Structure 1
Amino acid sequence: MPVIDCDIALPPGFRPQDILAFHRRDGERLAEQVDGDGLKKGLLWQGRPACLDLRFHDGRAALRLAVDGEAGDAGQLASLGRRMLGLNQPVEAFEDRYRGHPQLGALIAARVGLRVPQTATPFEALAWAITGQQISVAAAVTLRRRMLLLCDCRHSSGLLCHPDAARLAALTADQLGESGFSRAKSRALLALSQGVVSGTLPLDDWLDGVPADDIAERLLAVPGIGPWTVSYALLRGYGWLDGSLHGDVAVRKALGMLLGMADKPDQQRTQDWLRDFAPWRALVAAHLWALLQAGGF
């Protein structure tokens, strides 16, 4: 079986626990398996099932990718690893700017070096964001698991791989509905998948420096994709740290705790509060998620 290896130096204070928590969401371990110092994840590599083995040790991340087919080169794997680990996120500049802030300062001090773990592909981020619309993390994890089982794309190790757009586009709304997806979510997933397959939504091409506002405009034109879904997907799929996640219930709940409020603020007040932290609003949201220990979402 073709294998690619690479080794990535991690910055001082890197937090492996955040990466592991993100990939530990599904306790049934069908697609991701977190163990001790690292994890294994099933994914599609250039359209072929693969298993990524990621290990943290001595300030470095060792990546090994076993592919059911041609493997490619280590440079491509290193690029994937850096994105998934959030190493392209300039969190040090954010911390320098706000470590003395009366509310954020304590959050930053508690989690210095916090980065937002990213999905293997932008499509995976969008599929997860659509799946998680208006439901709990636990319910979203269950739906995601059913979708993976429905597509049944497996690496030879047995790990399920997140389907690509072509595999999801081959499903019907009835199949997704039988797996528990609402009509609205089924329509959105299929419209997204069909747009990627047709080339009207070149998600991977947008990784090469396309402005976030341009990506957002294109995604908002897809039926069933709204501002929260776009901001979340831009964060998890593209590492964009300035989406305003004011509609996120967990963000609002944590902000209420941070401000000493009896109840969570409404969306308008949350949006107004986050506005002062541009261009870091989504990173602020990640710190608020962490306050609730909801970083795996």
Structure 2
Amino acid sequence: MPTEYRQQLTLELPDHFRIQDFLDFHRRDQQALAERVSTNSLTKGLMLSGVPCQLEIGFNADQINVQLTAAKEPDPQSNSLSALAAHMLGLSQPIQQFEQMFSDHPQVGSLLRQNKGLRIPQAASAYEALVWAIIGQQISLTAAISIRRRFIQAAGQLTLNGLYCFPDPDSVSRMDPADIKGCGFSNAKIQALMRLNEWIQATPTLPNTLTTETAKQLNEQLLSIKGIGPWTVSYALLRGFNWLDGSLHGDVAVRRNLQYLLKMETAVDARYTEQWLQPFSPWRALMAAHLWAQQSSSGY
């Protein structure tokens, strides 16, 4: 019988925290291979310091209960459970400041009130966000979810309780490219993934939050990797680094929802959307998330 490491903590539930948004983000894969979502909790498999771990985040009336379980303790020097939970929940995002700043905006004021408390749920790691962004390039969400599921299964990292973990760079480096192709990756995406892995393994630990300067540097570094373009970078910075100022003007759903918001008869293009989002800096990506969410809470 293997030994079990367990760590628990409790966090205060912020006012107006949109629990359903957080759960919906992790509920996308209905087969629940790596994430299991109940009415008020998430159980997720993830790799920490090379150790398959099971993370549970549960909600009640005024607090968030967090528990990590694994066969052994992950490296305590590089893994903080409180920091991981706060990151995934988006607790550091200055949403009140954003909402106050634009509460009287003639076009979006009512939308912000409708979506009060909206945060951007984060992937468990920057690497997971980057890989997910590569998978999602130029395909439907349904197709991306299917590829992601097969990719996680092919990597074969399991928790003590049999939940699959999203693989870390070391796990992916050990995978045969033919097996990755069998998951549904195109040759171009396989090459982009391999180049990303090489860059990750040659880079110091990636931060979970960015400053304007570090975001600019990271943006340039990622764009230098062949197969990774502006949309992939903006989405990955949003989902993996809590960076709320990426301009998602190239996103089809953002443009469609902007057209809906402005009640325009014709579709808006990327250039128009980029210009429209500019005044919302340094929260352009947060504004884009409000556009996503106006028609579907699970759409962002």
TM-score in terms of structure 2 length: 0.94
The answer for the alignment partner of 1:204 in structure 2 is 206
Question: Aligned equivalents of 2:241 and 2:143: distance in 1?
Answer: 24
* Aligned equivalents of 1:90, 1:228: Cα separation in 2: 23
Distance 2:150 2:187 in 1: 16
The one-letter code of the counterpart of 2:219 is A
Aligned residue among 93, 98, 121 for 1:94: 98
DSSP 3-state at the match of 1:54: strand
Residue type matched to 1:217 in 2? E
* 112-121 vs 6-15, which moves further: 6-15
Kindly report which structure 2 residues correspond to 1:134-173, keeping only aligned pairs within 5 A, or say none. Answer: 134-173=138-177
| 35-44 vs 285-294, greater mean Cα deviation | 285-294
Q: For 2:267 and 2:145, how far apart are their aligned partners in 1?
A: 24
Residue 81 (structure 2) aligned to one of 70, 77, 82: 77
Specify the SS of the correspondent of 2:145: helix
Does the Cα contact within 8 Å between 1:23 and 1:296 map onto a contact in 2?
no
Partner Cα distance (2:295, 2:170) in 1: 36
Q: How far did residue 292 of structure 1 move?
A: 3.0
Superposed, which structure 2 residues align to 1:31-46 within 5 Å?
31-46=34-49
User: 2 CA distance for matches of 1:264 and 1:208?
Assistant: 33
Q: TM-score, normalised by structure 1?
A: 0.95
Q: Which residue of 2 aligns with 1:176?
A: 180
Q: What is the match of residue 193 of structure 2?
A: 189
- 8 Å Cα contact 2:46-2:124 kept in structure 1: yes
Conserved in 2, the CA contact under 8 Å of 1:24 and 1:296?
no
Where 1:240 maps in the other structure, the secondary structure is coil
User: Is the Cα contact below 8 Å between 1:188 and 1:222 reproduced in 2?
Assistant: yes
The code of the aligned residue for 1:238 comes to: F
Task: Name the residue aligned to 1:23.
Answer: 26
SS at match of 1:5: strand
Q: Which runs of 4+ in 1 moved over 3 A?
A: 71-75, 205-210, 294-297
Alignment check: 8 A CA contact 2:87 2:208 kept: no
Give the stretch that moved more between structures: 152-161 or 175-184. 175-184
Letter of the 1:274 partner, please give it. Answer: L
Distance 1:85 1:70 in 2: 23
Contact 2:209/2:243 (<8 A) preserved: no
- The residue correspondences of 1:40-55 to structure 2 (distance < 5 A) are 40-55=43-58
| Pair 1:133 & 2:160 matched | no
- Counterpart of 2:280 in structure 1 is 277
Gaps of 5+ in 2: none
Amino acid at match of 1:204: L
Counterpart of 2:111 (choices 95, 98, 107) is 107
Are the structure 2 counterparts of residues 238 and 100 from structure 1 closer, same or farther at C-alpha, using a change threshold of 3 Å?
same
**Given the alignment of the two structures, is residue 243 of structure 1 paired with residue 232 of structure 2, yes or no?**
no
Helix, strand or coil at the partner of 2:80 = helix
Contact 1:82/1:88 (8 A) holds in 2: yes
Q: Write the distance in 2 (CA, Å) between the matches of 1:43 and 1:162.
A: 5
1:175 positional shift: 2.3
Q: Structure 2 vs 1, CA of residues 61 and 231 (structure 1 numbering), >3 Å: closer, same or farther?
A: same
Unaligned runs of 5+ in 1: none
Post-superposition shift, 1:41? 0.3
Q: Aligned pair 1:286/2:286, yes or no?
A: no
The worse-fitting range, judged by mean Cα deviation, of 6-15 and 232-241 is: 6-15
Instruction: Give the secondary-structure state (helix, strand or coil) at the position aligned to 2:112.
Output: helix
Secondary structure of the corresponding residue to residue 237 of structure 1: helix
How many residue pairs get aligned? The number is 295
Asked if 1:223 is matched to 2:226, the reply is yes
Change in CA separation of 1:207 and 1:92 when aligned onto 2, cut-off 3 Å? closer
Kindly tell me: are residues 289 and 208 of structure 1, through their superposed partners in 2, closer, same or farther at Cα, counting changes over 3 Å? closer
Q: 1:186, CA displacement in angstroms?
A: 1.0
Q: 2:132 corresponds to which letter in structure 1?
A: W
Code of the aligned partner of 2:231: W
Checking the alignment, whether the CA contact within 8 Å between 1:45 and 1:67 is kept in structure 2 is no
Corresponding residue of 1:61: 64
CA contact under 8 A between 2:21 and 2:297: conserved in structure 1? no
Q: Deviations over 1:161-204 (max 9, x none)?
A: 0000111122243322222111111111111012212x1x3352
